[in-house]
Structure 1
Amino acid sequence: MSFRISYAPPADDTLAKMRDSEVFRDEMARTLGLDPYGHGSSAVKSERDRREATVAGAIVLYYVSGSVLIVTVVRLVPLP
């Protein structure tokens, strides 16, 4: 079972400016798209579906919507 990855406007703007955005998208699909609760992610403020993880050199803050199989990235911070 895989999750669709969706990007909120602020995260989408950051993604558009990233140098290797296609590599990042592929890595997101390969990791959090297959297991949004895994890949070294952790819950934020004890909310199971509000999570953060590091993927392909970027910190990703996202929400998991399990009933509709969507991961929504709300903030994306590329590491230098």
Structure 2
Amino acid sequence: MTPSQRAYCDVALAINQSRNMFVALSLGLAGSSTPKSAPRYRVVPESGEFFHIVDTGTGKVKGFRREHNDACAFARKLEQESLP
């Protein structure tokens, strides 16, 4: 590799690294911690009137509530109970 080719590669590498850092900073990825694992229980609207709390691992319904906030609270309770 000639010196001019080497210089071109060095500049191209620096520009690429700079672009990657800019993208990471603009997306808020630089310096962030690793993402949490996905929640085990998910609240799913069913039949327009109820919200089911579904275990994402098995797909089974663990409960249901009429109000969305109540369903989310129940899902959080189940999540806390399932932690080791």
TM range (shorter): under 0.3
Q: Which has the higher contact order (CA 8 A, sep 6+)?
A: 1
Q: Which has the larger radius of gyration?
A: 2
Q: Which one has a larger percent strand, Structure 1 or Structure 2? A: 1
Q: TM-score, normalised by structure 2?
A: 0.25
